[in-house]
Amino acid sequence: GPVICIVGARPNFMKMAPILRAFAAHSPAIPELLVHTGQHYDKDMNDRLFEDLRLPQPDINLGVGSGSHAVQTAEVMRRFEPVVDEKKPSCVLVVGDVNSTLACTLVAVKKGVPVVHVEAGLRSYDRRMPEEINRVLTDQIADRLYTTERSAAANLAREGIAADRISFVGNVMIDSLLSNRALARAPAATVSAFAADPALLAGSAGYGVVTLHRPSNVDHADVLASLLGVLREIADSLPLVFAMHPRTRGNIERFGLSALLDTPRIIVLPPQGYLEMLGLLAGARIVLTDSGGLQEETTALGIPCLTLRENTERPITVDQGTNTMVGTDIDAIRRHAQATLAGQGKSGRIPELWDGHAAERIAADLAG
């Protein structure tokens, strides 16, 4: 049977695209079936990414949509089970750490279908993060584990996972970045419809990019208000482009915090397409984020990144890359932003095997 490949949420799409291409390019081609759980579904979170990444339309869409963690996970499981029964896959391939990743893994494993996990072994060691639960449980029961950095194997060993299940292949997300870099869209065009002063980004100061969506940062009014406050301060020295996740936009409205963003020096955008985001990142002087993927992409691009979290599951971006953990400590954020703007931003090097060929290594290993 085919390899059933699972995508559910935005950060899955840029990881799956190079894998599907490597399966098609392998000789002989590796048969696959693309299943979308429907966790992310709207134009901004889904459709534009599919177009930009030249992902084929999913063979099957489970259409689960939003819900509590329990409901979302349970709905994916309920709807994915008959697909496994009918398609009789040789294995199920999951990427990353979203609810769809764990839900499909549970279904497959209990039916005796082997699971392949791409981006295995990353650990924040913070079990309040829903993604950490998804990572730990997926890795514990998956059969084949592909890792992006060497620290992952040590994390897995600590959890009793046998070394022969693990293979260090590099980073498929960076495969996507490198193969799309030349196609990135110009920042000025991206912001033009949303900026009071579209010439702002062309100024000699340059600009910074912001994303925020972790529940720990955006679900509490006081935390969110203080983060928006320091962003506003930074914006006095450097115009900021804030690509806003729907969760964050909803909470800013609900908590009555919109006034904090009421300045022409912070340009608020809806979630961006992949090529728009790549263009914005590549031209930025600094990125402030709580995203996992952006920590890696900024390291690959050599752009200083301040991560607004207490911990990271991607330590190589700090040890070797351009990433600095600043948490939600306003003074630390302010200090590191000022240092970066004063030319003391962190420089780094490209981590081992972040070379654009991770998906090919996965295809070769699975076929071999």
The footprint of ligand UD1 (CB under 6 A) covers 9-11, 39-42, 45-46, 66, 98-99, 130-131, 213, 245-247
Least CB distance to ligand UD1 at residue 313 (A): 11
Helix (H, G, I), strand (E, B) or coil at 345: coil
Rounded distance between C-alpha atoms, residue 187 and residue 51, angstroms? 19
**Contact at 8 Å (CB) between 5 and 345?**
no
Token digits of residue 74: 């349970």
Cβ neighbours of residue 161 closer than 8 Å, sequence gap 6 or more:
139, 140, 145
Q: Out of 117, 213, 245, 336, pick the active-site residue.
A: 213
Q: Is residue 287 classed as helix, strand or coil in its secondary structure? A: strand
Closest to ligand UD1 by CB, 292 or 345? 292
Region class of 307: left (phi > 0), else alpha (psi between -120 and 50), else beta: beta
Structure tokens of 99?
């609810």
If the CB atoms of residues 294 and 316 are measured against ligand UD1, the closer one turns out to be 294
Angstrom distance (rounded) from CA 64 to CA 336: 41
DSSP codes joined into one string, 41-62: -SIIIIIHHHHHTTPPPPSEE-
Give the whole-angstrom CA distance, residue 225 versus residue 162.
Answer: 45
Which residue's CB is nearer to ligand UD1, number 131 or number 175? 131
Nearer to ligand UD1, 205 or 223 (CB): 223
Minimum Å distance from CB 365 to ligand UD1?
26
CB of 181 to ligand UD1, least distance (A): 22
CA distance 216 to 145: 28
* Shortest CB 27 distance to ligand UD1, Å: 35
Of residues 245 and 361, the one with the C-beta less far from ligand UD1: 245
Q: How far is the CB of 152 from ligand UD1 (least distance, A)?
A: 17
Quick check: is 213 catalytic? Answer: yes
Catalytically active residues are 213
